Amino acid sequence: MARNTFVFEVLPDGRIKVTNDGGFDPTVHKDADDLLAWLQSVMGAEPEVKSHRKSLNPTQHQHQHGKLKH
């Protein structure tokens, strides 16, 4: 998957699955977080967040923006 790209899937039960495997450049990272926060607000539910960042060690990318963990 390309950098700076989300893939949105509507699941049969109405939930939305959002994936990103390429990461985000620092210049658009906050905008991507804001988009996810907006989506959470319009969906009206707490997200289930799963991380599949096996290639990064904890010091490379372990922080939190609002209620969404990365």
Task: Name the nearest CA neighbour of 46 among 67, 18, 70, 17.
Answer: 67
Q: Is the pLDDT of residue 59 over 50?
A: no
DSSP letter for each residue of 16-46: EEEE-SS---HHHHHHHHHHHHHHHHHHTS-
DSSP, res 68: E
CA distance 9 to 7: 7
pTM for this structure? 0.65
Residue 38: its pLDDT value, please? 92
Query: Is residue 50 within a helix (H) or strand (E), and if so which, with residue range?
Result: none
Within 10 Å of residue 47's Cβ, how many Cβ atoms?
A: 16
When pLDDT is cut at 50, 70 and 90, the band that residue 44 belongs to is confident
- Domain chopping of the chain, boundaries: 1-46
